[in-house]
Amino acid sequence: MEPATGRGHVQYDFTGLLTPAGSSPSPSAPNVVELVWTPDDEYVRLARDAAGKFETQTRAKARVTGGLVGRLPDEVLGLATLVAESQPSQAHPLEAAELAGFTADRWTVTVPVEAAAAAGVPGYLPDAAAIRQQYGKSEIDIEVWLIGGVLRRLTYQLARDQAPYGGPDRTTTTYDWLNAGDDVAIKVPA
């Protein structure tokens, strides 16, 4: 991600999310989406069609017609913004943990659902009222992982005892930043 320029390039693996309850994901049919965005446009393709062309639309149109994938750039940028703009009183230390073979310092940053929804978090719910209605939450905890003072992971979870199908559900969203180095730029598909 290049938050300062509003550009990013990510791959989202929806295989587990799109697998019917009670069955195992099929490794031969992954549901991975490759997404590149600029402040004005989004470029999307299925990873299994890596030789295929990217589908293009404006960010504004993608937010309305692109479903969850159309709103994902807002979510990942929103999470980073919520953490960057948080107050020290919102951060609570957690025990250090291992990530990619390194020890990561961790914190939980607690944000009101109004601020989260305004920032596009979560990408799959439209507003704070929906978060409250579906999950009974007034705050969302964002877990922040730093290695050597550098952001490497943001994650949050929404859970409820009874989903529409009758049983419990838990959705955990995690964004990991690879150590690509400062000389790697986001390339916009042609």
pLDDT in tens, the chain (190 residues): 777 788 888 888 777 665 555 665 555 555 788 899 999 999 998 877 767 788 999 999 998 888 888 888 889 889 989 999 999 999 999 999 999 899 999 999 999 999 999 999 998 888 899 999 999 999 999 999 999 998 899 999 999 988 877 888 888 998 887 655 555 556 667 6
What pLDDT, on the 0 to 100 scale, is given for residue 104?
A: 95
| Residue 21, phi-psi category: left (phi > 0), alpha (psi -120 to 50), beta (remainder) | beta
What pLDDT, on the 0 to 100 scale, is given for residue 2?
A: 76
Sheet bearing 8-13, strands edge to edge = 8-13, 32-37, 41-46, 55-58
Torsion angles phi and psi, residue 129, rounded to 5: -60, -40
What pLDDT, on the 0 to 100 scale, is given for residue 188?
A: 66
What pLDDT, on the 0 to 100 scale, is given for residue 186?
A: 60
Q: Which CATH architecture has domain 8-176?
A: Clam (2.50)
Beta bridge partners of 94: 106
| The overall pTM is greater than 0.75 | yes
Cα pseudo-dihedral 69, 127, 118, 158, rounded to 10:
-70
Locate the domains of the chain by residue range: 8-176
Determine the Cα–Cα distance for residues 128 and 151; give it in Å rounded to an integer.
26
Q: Is the dihedral of CA 141, 145, 151, 153 positive or negative?
A: negative
Count of H-run helices and E-run strands, the chain: 4, 9
Determine the Cα–Cα distance for residues 125 and 22; give it in Å rounded to an integer.
24
Sheet bearing 169-176, strands edge to edge = 91-99, 102-112, 139-147, 150-160, 169-176
For residue 35, which of 24, 47, 26, 43 has the smallest C-alpha distance? 43
End-to-end CA distance of the chain: 19
> Max alpha carbon distance in the chain (Å)?
49
